[in-house]
């Protein structure tokens, strides 16, 4: 997909990667807002700056087991870090180990020692290591020796690498805002983590893109009210080439989103009343402060966040639909309680 107008985000992350490590950075935002695309652009532009990126996209895998965790993060080699074969075109790396790791033989301390060895080798060569994990929350159900949570122990390691030793940047990307809430409340990460939001595209940027793609002023004026995410622009452009009008494409989007909402409500009848109470708060406003959600419907609010109907921006304390087209589908929802 074409890279769309994220110069500010790219500039921020490029600068961040070249500063001394001092905290874990969580890059968060609505699903499909472009977090991964921005990060890959940063990696591409810093490729020749003596920076070694250890990059893992966990969306490529089913929720990993202990054994699969080893296979994903480590590569057998006599070198301490080796090219990530699954991301070979990006020029990123994996941690190298002399032999295949076996979780029955290795403790978490052994595993973390191997990670430290790889990072120290990069530093020894006069380069800067940066560890990037996309959708880190997929590791949260893995437990090791003595039922230790892999994710919690990883956070301890990350704090050590960033805030304590200042040896390696750790950047975690996620669209799971309930996971971000857990992190935000984690005392281990207090004063050891930062958060950066990659949100919807700005309207002026969308107008510029559509103009460059030869959309008419009339088409742009109509579309601008419904677009918010990069992939929507790509789909709109492709559909126009296929002969669909802007109005037809957007009407189809909203109908699909509305049908998803109706299905969700009908398959959760026991909480339907409360779900409608939550959704009703967005009839006249696209953003609602978290304080405006009563305690008795907050679990239902979290249910809609988990199902990616709503997005919770914990840092700014607001809840909103995951996209503008989702907002229109909520506003057009008319179903009996």
Q: What is the pLDDT of residue 187?
A: 78
Q: What is the pLDDT of residue 57?
A: 94
Among 37, 25, 128, which residue's Cα sits nearest to residue 81? Answer: 128
Instruction: Mention every residue, 6+ apart, whose C-beta is less than 8 A from residue 240.
Output: 215, 246, 249
Q: What is the pLDDT of residue 146?
A: 66
Among 159, 194, 168, 200, which residue's Cα sits nearest to residue 26? Answer: 194
Where along the chain do the CATH 1.10.10.10 domains lie? 203-331
Helices 246-266 and 324-331, interaxial angle, to 10°? 60
- Architecture per CATH, domain 7-197, reads as 3-Layer(aba) Sandwich (3.40)
Where along the chain do the CATH 3.40.50.300 domains lie? 7-197
* Distance from C-alpha of 137 to C-alpha of 155, rounded to nearest angstrom: 11
List average pLDDT for each run of 10 residues in the chain, which is 337 residues long: 79 97 96 94 92 94 86 92 87 90 76 95 97 94 82 93 97 92 82 94 94 96 97 96 97 96 96 96 96 97 96 94 97 72
- Confirm if 159 and 24 have CB atoms less than 8 A apart: yes
Q: What topology does CATH give the domain 203-331?
A: Arc Repressor Mutant, subunit A (1.10.10)
DSSP for residue 134: E
Instruction: Count CB neighbours of 152 within 10 A.
Output: 12
- Confirm if 173 and 133 have CB atoms less than 8 A apart: yes
Q: What is the pLDDT of residue 3?
A: 67
152 sits in which H/E element: helix 150-159
């Amino acid at each position: 997909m074409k890279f769309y107008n994220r110069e500010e985000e790219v500039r921020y992350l490029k600068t961040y990667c070249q500063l001394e490590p001092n905290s874990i950075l969580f890059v968060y935002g609505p699903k499909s807002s472009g977090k991964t695309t921005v990060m890959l652009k940063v990696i591409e532009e810093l490729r020749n700056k003596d920076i070694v990126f250890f990059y893992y996209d966990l969306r490529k895998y089913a929720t990993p087991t202990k054994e699969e965790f080893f296979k994903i993060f480590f590569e057998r080699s006599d070198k301490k870090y080796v090219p990530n074969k699954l991301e070979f075109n990006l020029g990123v790396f994996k941690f190298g180990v002399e032999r295949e790791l076996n979780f029955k033989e290795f403790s978490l301390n052994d595993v973390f020692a191997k990670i430290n060895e790889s990072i120290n080798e990069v530093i020894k060569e006069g380069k800067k290591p940066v560890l990037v994990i996309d959708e880190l929350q997929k590791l949260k159900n893995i437990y090791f020796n003595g039922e230790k949570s892999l994710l919690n122990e990883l956070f301890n390691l990350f704090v050590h690498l960033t805030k304590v030793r200042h040896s390696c940047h750790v950047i975690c990307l996620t669209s799971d805002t309930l996971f971000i809430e857990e992190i935000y409340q984690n005392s281990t990460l207090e004063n050891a983590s930062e958060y950066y939001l990659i949100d919807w595209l700005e309207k002026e940027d969308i107008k510029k893109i559509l103009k460059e793609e030869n959309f008419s002023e009339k088409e742009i004026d109509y579309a601008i009210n419904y677009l918010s995410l990069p992939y929507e622009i790509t789909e709109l452009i492709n559909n126009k080439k296929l002969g669909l009008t802007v109005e037809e494409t957007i009407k189809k989007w909203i109908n699909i989103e509305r049908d998803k909402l109706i299905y969700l409500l009908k398959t959760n009848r026991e909480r339907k009343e409360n779900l409608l109470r939550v959704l009703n708060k967005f009839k006249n406003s696209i953003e609602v402060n978290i304080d405006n959600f009563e305690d008795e419907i907050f679990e239902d609010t979290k249910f809609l966040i988990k199902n990616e109907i709503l997005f919770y921006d914990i840092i700014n304390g607001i809840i909103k639909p995951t996209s503008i087209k989702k907002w229109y589908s909520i506003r057009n929802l008319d179903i009996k309680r």
